[in-house]
Amino acid sequence: MEMFSNVGATQPAPSLIAAFQHTIGPNVDQPQRQGRQQCLHYVDQQPDPSNSQWAIAVFGALYSNIFVLGLLGNLAIVLVTVQCRQLRSVQNIFILNLAISDVIVCLLSLPFTPVSYIYKEWLFGSAICHLLPMVQAASVFVSTFSLSAIAIDRYWLVLYPHSNSISHARATAVAAVLWLFSVLISVPYSIHMTLVEYDGYCGKFCTEQWPSMQIRRGYSLSVVVLQFLIPFVTMSFCYASIFALLRRRANTKIQQLNERQKMLINSSKMQFSEGGSNGENCQSVDDGLCRVPSRPDNRAHRVNAVNKQQRRTTLILVTIVLFFFFAWLPHNIREMVIEYDEQLLHRNGINYTYFLSMVTHSLAMTTNVANPILYAWLNPTFKELFLRTANALVLRRNKMRRNASSAGGGSVRSERAGGGGQKATTPAGMAQQNSNNNRQTPPQLRPEREEEGGNVSSSNGTAASQQTMIIEACELRPTKKDYI
């Protein structure tokens, strides 16, 4: 069994091992003897599309983009959540957990796996062969478990808004339990992965050695169930329930708007009837007897707004479920095919195992790019807080540079003025400098206290002003609807 994020369990195909057993003897599965003079490269034995130049170029570009976009997107979530206390809510604990696990996947799966697929051998040593599969498996488990936790939390928040929600401490404990459970169920990878050499083959292979094929297949099946089937069923149920409830609420709201419009029209007709059908008593449209009810276009605008929000919510929920399904389904199907009948991946003398592995693995890894978009960047509150935090960090860096340059420039001016260390700054120059500072720093992000004349503040004052800029950037509070 290959690990579902396939760390590079680059064992030669069983069919090829059988062929070598027939040609070079029965000791293929024994460690390679020292001093062997000749060996065969696995990549030279069977035609493999994954070693073609176009495949290497395409997958190299694809993995590079996934790595950069996934890493930046998830690190942005971690940065904003850590900087802004307003985002350290119960709902966002699981999103932070998801982002951290995706960062680990980007760092430890994306670089190693494609290299192992292309070279068909293990290049990173025995210790990494034991540890890396477990860490990769645990991080992928945490990622999918966090998706399930987010779905359950949203389900409970929407369907039972008046019940006691989970506390911050319990949410943190749940996140820790997810990590612990993920590590425990990933330990078999560390136990059964080992670095071996095969007679007749060049290089070393990080592969799995289980007591029996039945145990190996049983564990493979449990991985598919825990990592794919259970999260998919959980997400489908929770988001389908949320969709049904929000749709009923939207229909109820539209019905209330229609009934309100009818009541206003009927009330207007009664007023016109009492005041004269020809409207002769009406002096103006603001007259008490002739006040015009809400215009139909206002009601239509509100109905359109409700429908627009409903369509947006539906699109997000459907995208979350379907993207997870179609991203991970091919990879898990390939895992089962390799476990039970790998010959299905051989056609016309060509072994497609590694090529299809790269296709399905890269498709599964696109979730590292999609998760930040679906769970954070589509949230207006998060997007606003990220822009404010990034702006505050840029302003802080610029302020530190200005302070450093001002300190250097002040000492030079003092030496030239010969004033005993006093800055030779005229009142006009002070006014111009203050004016420049005011133009460079937006009022809402400007530190509350600055010394006159642009003097460099103390280190404590600088740190306080920098922290103030970050806090002010995070003053936007998320609303409940932002989590849906």
Nearest to 149 by CA among 174, 182, 127, 128: 174
Q: What is the pLDDT of residue 458?
A: 46
Q: Residues 31, 120: one domain?
A: yes
User: Cα 473 from chain centroid?
Assistant: 22
Q: Residues 336, 451: one domain?
A: no
Q: Is residue 264 part of a domain?
A: no
Map residue 157 onto helix, strand or coil. Answer: helix
Q: Residues 408, 364: one domain?
A: no
**Residue that is written with structure tokens 């947006």 in the block:** 312
Question: How far is Cα 399 from Cα 376, in angstroms, rounded to an integer?
Answer: 29
**Residue that is written with structure tokens 């001016």 in the block:** 413
Question: How far is Cα 124 from Cα 112, in angstroms, rounded to an integer?
Answer: 9
* Residues in CB range of 350: below 8 A, 6 or more apart: 46, 47, 48, 49
Buried b or exposed e, range 183-213, using 16+ CB within 10 angstroms: bebbebbbebbebbbbbbbbbbbbbbebeee
**Residue that is written with structure tokens 């449209």 in the block:** 285
Q: Is residue 162 part of a domain?
A: yes
Map residue 476 onto helix, strand or coil. Answer: coil
Q: Residues 94, 113: one domain?
A: yes
Q: Residues 408, 464: one domain?
A: yes
Q: Is residue 3 part of a domain?
A: no
Q: Is residue 98 part of a domain?
A: yes
Structural domain tally of the chain? 2
Q: Residues 230, 202: one domain?
A: yes
Q: Is residue 275 part of a domain?
A: no
Query: What are the E-state strand segments in 326-434?
Result: 346-347, 350-351
CATH value at residue 21? 1.20.1070.10
**Residue that is written with structure tokens 């016109």 in the block:** 272
Q: Residues 140, 113: one domain?
A: yes
Token pair belonging to 120: 């068909």
Q: Residues 354, 451: one domain?
A: no
Q: Residues 409, 344: one domain?
A: no
Q: Is residue 207 part of a domain?
A: yes
Q: Is residue 177 part of a domain?
A: yes
Q: Residues 182, 127: one domain?
A: yes
Q: What is the pLDDT of residue 296?
A: 52
Q: What is the pLDDT of residue 484?
A: 42
Domain that holds residue 46: 14-236+328-378
Nearest to 318 by CA among 370, 243, 245: 243
Q: Residues 75, 141: one domain?
A: yes
Q: Is residue 445 part of a domain?
A: yes
Question: How far is Cα 354 from Cα 359, in angstroms, rounded to an integer?
Answer: 9
Are the C-beta atoms of 474 and 86 separated by less than 8 Å?
yes
Q: Residues 226, 359: one domain?
A: yes
Q: Give this prediction's pTM.
A: 0.71
**Residue that is written with structure tokens 């070693």 in the block:** 51
Q: Tell me the pLDDT of the chain (484 aa) as tens digits.
A: 444 444 444 454 444 444 444 333 334 344 444 444 577 777 777 668 888 889 999 999 999 999 999 999 999 999 888 887 777 788 789 999 999 999 999 999 998 988 888 888 888 888 999 999 999 999 999 999 999 999 999 899 888 887 777 888 899 999 999 999 999 999 999 999 998 888 887 888 898 889 999 999 999 999 999 999 999 999 999 999 998 888 887 777 767 666 666 666 666 656 555 555 444 444 443 444 444 454 555 656 666 666 677 677 778 888 899 999 999 999 999 999 988 888 888 887 788 888 999 999 999 999 999 999 998 888 877 888 778 877 877 787 778 877 777 766 555 455 444 444 444 444 444 444 444 444 444 444 344 444 444 444 444 444 444 444 444 445 444 444 444 4
